Amino acid sequence: MKKAKLTLDKDFVVGEIDKRIYGSFIEHLGRAVYGGIYEPAHKEADELGFRKDVAELVRKLDVPIVRYPGGNFVSGFNWEDSVGPVSERPKRLDLAWFTTETNEVGLHEFAEWTGKTGSEIMYAVNLGTRGPEQARDIVEYANHPAGSKYSDMRIANGKKDPFGIKLWCLGNEMDGPWQMGHKTAREYGRVANETAKMMKWVDPSIEVVACGSSSSEMPTFGTWEMEMLDECYENVDYVSLHRYYENPTGDTPGFLARSMDMDAFIKSVASMCDAVKATKHSKHVVNLSFDEWNVWYHSREADKELWESDKWNKALPLLEDIYNFEDALLVGSMLITLIKNADRVKVACLAQLVNVIAPIMTRNGGGAWAQTIYYPFMHASKYGRGTALNAIVNTPAYSCEDYDEVPYIDATATMDEAGNVTVFAVNRDMESDYELELDLRSFGELSAYEHILMHNDDVKAVNTEKDPENVTPVQGPGGSVSDGRATIRIPSLSWNVIRFTK
């Protein structure tokens, strides 16, 4: 068995973890809303038409914030279409996904749903086909107490108290030519600046996220951030990052190394924020919102066929990736990467939450089940709160096509308010188990521990409605703990959560 060592100290701290890094995303896309969270004819539907079985799976993930209503969708969306009597709401062609949006679910209904799941809304405004005026109006509608056109409209629509939405996205992926109203960095930066100013004049308590690059692979990545921030730095609070990974060739070691790219992306964007801060002689710190991240590639071919056969239909089953075991391992490493960068990443959204590139799947009229990626996300959200610790990991490493020095053991650790310590570790080694030696002496007595493990001999193993527990966590082999030192066996290709409690 190979060996690795992890040294922790309660004073080696990365930073406080903002719980919003365990956020997710619901877009009006595919069956995320219609046939996902909302299906009034389903036997599990509640009085508002939301599926109780789906809400229960979401609650178990403890998602503090949900980005809404898009995504690419938002760049052609008129928020006014989605409020008021449902029977009077217009049906619209959605040019982002070539489907028809009925607006049956809008802001009021979605806020009811997030109330049930214990989440807050992160609301995106349309800076594609619209601009600062409509963004100002929706802040007034959502957050102003009363006595103005839009706040009174909200009250007339049945919501006396403001929604109190605290976090707002200034558009979506405005660097991408696929986006309705695509802009250059300078054009977007100017609009983002004016929009942020006006939104904050309506409600000074809000925070806003400016669009960074839609991927680190965009040709404009870097210049986009620098030019855009040069226009709006003082008025924005976060820059967004989006990144999806894929494994079309079946290169598992190369695929599992992709979180190194995510780490480099985060560090580059943080550096760019700080570079602009320096040029402006500013004291204002702009942090990061990694508000779209996941694996995404399994459904691409099926989607092309759907658009050819069923364009403009409602709630097409788009982007329905079926996630396998190796996807769960990479998602685990992406969560580790977010925790490692907790000093700069304050918001992150697993994209998305239900049916659309999602940890939760449903069948119309049928069941709801957890995909493989559900579990690492649930573990990190549940146990990865408090303080991110700077774990020193000594591990053998490997090389693959795009990276050298890829650690076989990818690990980080957190400490909660009660002093309990949780280690998250992915073993990327396809051949070997590891004996992981942990030095925990600085924490004093940690009497009990638990080892949660996800492993499958088949990297392509999936969960389905018929076999929903094919890939699920089990108790791990554990090891020995004494005098502040532990030795735990980490099986080959596995996701591990090792919890030491006071």
In 29-83, where does DSSP find H-type helix? 52-61
Query: Does 287 interact with ligand AHR (rule: CB under 6 A)?
Result: no
> Which residue's CB atom is positioned nearest to ligand AHR?
71
Whether the link from the prior residue into 352 is cis, omega within 30° of 0, is: yes
Beta-carbon-side half-sphere exposure of residue 289 (alpha carbons within 13 Å): 30
Using the rule CB under 6 A, give the single segment among 54-62, 70-78, 331-339, 473-481 that binds ligand AHR. 70-78
Query: Does 351 interact with ligand AHR (rule: CB under 6 A)?
Result: yes
| 292 among known catalytic residues | yes
Q: What gap in Å lies between CA 471 and CA 241, rounded to an integer?
A: 30
Query: Does 72 interact with ligand AHR (rule: CB under 6 A)?
Result: yes
Instruction: Write the DSSP symbol of residue 163.
Output: -
Q: Considering the candidates 173, 194, 231, 326, report the single residue annotated as catalytic.
A: 173
Which residue of 352, 427, 463, 494 would you call a contact of ligand AHR, by CB under 6 A? 352
Which residue of 4, 20, 21, 27 would you call a contact of ligand AHR, by CB under 6 A? 27
Query: Does 70 interact with ligand AHR (rule: CB under 6 A)?
Result: yes
Query: Does 6 interact with ligand AHR (rule: CB under 6 A)?
Result: no
Q: Contact 446/413 with Cβ under 8 angstroms?
A: no
Cβ proximity to ligand AHR: between 94 and 326 the closer is 94
Q: Which two tokens stand for residue 250?
A: 């079946």
Q: State whether residue 384 is helix, strand or coil.
A: coil
Query: Does 420 interact with ligand AHR (rule: CB under 6 A)?
Result: no
| 173 among known catalytic residues | yes
Query: Does 172 interact with ligand AHR (rule: CB under 6 A)?
Result: yes
The residues that bridge with 89 in the sheet, in sequence order, are none
CB of 386 vs ligand AHR, minimal distance in Å: 29
Cβ proximity to ligand AHR: between 72 and 289 the closer is 72
Angle at 364 between CA 361 and CA 369, to 5 degrees: 25
Whether the link from the prior residue into 396 is cis, omega within 30° of 0, is: no
Cβ proximity to ligand AHR: between 229 and 319 the closer is 319
Q: Which two tokens stand for residue 382?
A: 């549940």
Query: Does 292 interact with ligand AHR (rule: CB under 6 A)?
Result: yes
Pairing relationship of beta strands 287-295 and 345-350 according to DSSP bridges: parallel
CB of 501 vs ligand AHR, minimal distance in Å: 37
Using the rule CB under 6 A, give the single segment among 31-39, 66-74, 393-401, 474-482 that binds ligand AHR. 66-74
Using the rule CB under 6 A, give the single segment among 11-19, 68-76, 81-89, 148-156 that binds ligand AHR. 68-76
Q: What gap in Å lies between CA 96 and CA 483, rounded to an integer?
A: 58
Pairing relationship of beta strands 406-407 and 397-398 according to DSSP bridges: antiparallel
CB of 244 vs ligand AHR, minimal distance in Å: 7
Cβ proximity to ligand AHR: between 362 and 414 the closer is 362
Cβ proximity to ligand AHR: between 25 and 233 the closer is 25
Query: Does 109 interact with ligand AHR (rule: CB under 6 A)?
Result: no
CB of 293 vs ligand AHR, minimal distance in Å: 10
Identify the CA nearest to 170 among candidates 227, 235, 111: 235
Q: Contact 347/481 with Cβ under 8 angstroms?
A: no
CB of 204 vs ligand AHR, minimal distance in Å: 28
Task: Determine the length of the chain.
Answer: 502
What is each CA distance from 376 to 82, 97, 101, 251, 437, in whole angstroms?
34, 29, 33, 21, 22
Identify the CA nearest to 376 among candidates 256, 216, 240: 256
List, by residue number, the catalytic residues: 173, 292
User: Which residues in this chain contact ligand AHR in the complex, by CB under 6 A?
Assistant: 27, 70-72, 172-173, 214, 292, 351-352
